[in-house]
Chain A
């Protein structure tokens, strides 16, 4: 896709945490819509709500370390016409307050926007207690809920603005770490729409013994979410050097999942590898598999955290330890290609 950051694969590619994009988007949302209010559970600076608080002090509500109250409070404010963004770390919200979100926001169908910062293993030194690896599963299982997981700061900003117009409960997961900026202001974003960031280039022809087909389409598809999209793009680039052509899809809306894009990928490329900074149970891989197995079964590999809690360490060390690496994604693709050949 030619609308991606031209410096994407440069060493000095800009690195910005997705939470920064949210913070910027929230101020813009506040400027655009006077009903936007922000509620925060004692993490105003680190969850990037400070700029909104400074600009709109009368629309900022400090909830204290009380995420259960924050969720139901937000529901009550939404009942009276506000568009509340409630922010904490993902382990606490939607973790600590899941039932309040279920009953007072989702079943009650109030358009509250739940922002879970510090999601994923890359939270780093704080350790497993603060690394939300289950938040997608928790929120995806709830009727009425929209689940967003932007790949970079620019997409997080767009998602924030898009949520204001979405008259449904929404959850957005954000990361703490600085991650490469993949998209540009011009990259299309729409809730419910997956983006093909790379079609793959089968016309180059292939001599690889691993390649299962040499048709018009890529040999396999990497479907990734959050900062794993960048690793997916790096893996695809490396595979291309071995004449393996890979499509890369960014799923920034996990629910409702863009079924059309998933089915198309299954049909056209015949193999799918999913990558996420989340438990393999109930996350992106599960969501994709639910569609693939029912509508167009093809070999799949789900890369994520395998039924483990995280631990303390530097983000890169942790990603390495838990197998969220370019090498492991490449292994996933080759596995899928081998499975394709056996069919």
Chain B
């Protein structure tokens, strides 16, 4: 299904709104992760507004595609996407990380409609996705499993146990996607614990690997469509993304991995009480490309 230029523009605008809501909810929460959610906003937008077979009115519809978020810490982007897709009111986003909120600091499945798993501790989402995909094949179901992972969690041994299992069992109804943003808490992934050659590693374990620009909607939508056509093997999509995408002072900076705007003065970056304002301004003006904004 070819997308028109207008379709693409609509998705880009949606992703921009999602990014603004991420900044707003993190500011309100006073803690949480900034870089990953902003970096994955395009992928999540494409999934919830184009790719996934799902029904926000019936979150447990049995034929839905299963979206498994393994790296639970980027949940702000999942929460905002679910809210905009209609799973719960957008106003509820402001309760992130507050007492009695359904929006826990890391996702708790039973708390919120639309969540497939509880996650946060890294490296076990792919195993759960494998369990779902295996049952999907056993029962000859039509739905697919999509598992989102971070690159940092490729450090976990559990991840590779699952990679081996998926390869062995040829889970071709499983598509995993690694958010290849090259950062983790302590620094750049290749300094903390080198992952490369990542593509070759997965291929050696029996996977089919595709690489895309994780900010290009045509590529994102195209690659998931291509993944469906790969039989006999699970598919890994390495999505190259820019952490903090859309906010100039956050982009490609691991210091923003686990910090929300408005809390910390970081040398060389806007003062804390200006951070959210500047971030939102940048998002509204597409990083200065729209000149008409006066503020």
Contact = CB atoms under 8 A, between A and B. Distances in A.
Nearest to B120: A103
A80 B138 CA distance: 11
B194 interface: no
Nearest to A73: B131
A72 B156 CA distance: 14
Interface stretch (B160-168, B223-231, B264-272): B160-168
A99 B119 CA distance: 11
B146 to A, nearest CB: 13
Contacts of B131: 72-80, 84
Contact of A58 (B132, B138, B161): B138
Interface residues of B, number: 30
A107 B118 contact: yes
A229 to B, nearest CB: 36
Given A72-B158, A77-B134, A81-B135, A108 B165 contact: no
B118 A68 contact: no
Contacts of B164: 64, 66, 69
Nearest to A66: B161
Interface string A56-96: 00100101101011011111111111101000000000000
A79 B127 CA distance: 12
Max chain B C-beta neighbours (<10 A), residue from A66, A73, A100, A107: A73
Interface string B134-164: 1110110000000000000000011001101
B285 to A, nearest CB: 41
Contacts of B109: 108-109
Task: Give the interface size class of chain A.
Answer: 20 to 34
A104 B117 contact: yes
Interface in B87-130: 108-110, 116-121, 123-125, 127-130
Given A73-B165, A109-B110, A104 B128 contact: yes
Contacts of B120: 103
A66 B139 CA distance: 24
A253 to B, nearest CB: 24
A78 B128 CA distance: 9
A142 to B, nearest CB: 13
Nearest to A74: B131
A99 B121 CA distance: 8
Contacts of A82: 135
Majority secondary structure, B binding face = helix
Given A69-B165, A108-B109, A80 B136 contact: yes
A76 B118 contact: no
A217 to B, nearest CB: 44
A77 B132 contact: yes
A77 B127 CA distance: 10
Given A66-B164, A104-B117, A73 B108 contact: no
Nearest to A106: B118
A10 to B, nearest CB: 47
Given A64-B164, A100-B127, A108 B117 contact: yes
Interface string A304-327: 000000000000000000000000
Contact of B158 (A64, A68, A77, A78): A68
B186 to A, nearest CB: 20
Contacts of B165: 63-64, 66, 69, 73
Contacts of B134: 61, 73, 76-77
Contact of B162 (A58, A69, A103): A69
A298 to B, nearest CB: 39
Max chain B C-beta neighbours (<10 A), residue from A58, A69, A104: A69
A162 to B, nearest CB: 24
Contacts of B133: 76
A100 B136 CA distance: 22
Contacts of A58: 138
Contacts of A69: 127, 130, 158, 161-162, 164-165
A145 to B, nearest CB: 15
B132 A76 contact: yes
Contacts of A79: 116-117, 128, 131-132
Contact of A73 (B116, B118, B127, B139): B127
A76 B129 contact: yes
A77 B121 CA distance: 19
Contacts of A75: 117, 127-128, 131
A72 B138 contact: no
Contacts of B130: 69, 73, 76
A77 B135 contact: yes
B121 A103 contact: yes
A144 to B, nearest CB: 10
A318 B160 CA distance: 38
B124 A104 contact: yes
Interface of A: 58, 61, 63-64, 66, 68-69, 71-82, 84, 99-100, 103-104, 107-109
Interface of B: 108-110, 116-121, 123-125, 127-136, 138-139, 157-158, 161-162, 164-165
19 contacts: A64-B165, A66-B161, A66-B164, A68-B124, A68-B127, A72-B131, A72-B158, A73-B127, A76-B117, A76-B127, A76-B131, A76-B132, A76-B133, A77-B132, A78-B131, A79-B131, A100-B127, A100-B158, A103-B121
By Cβ-Cβ distance, the 4 closest A-B pairs, closest first, are A76-B131, A72-B127, A69-B161, A76-B128
Given A66-B165, A76-B133, A100-B127, 4 more contacts: A58-B138, A76-B131, A76-B134, A107-B118
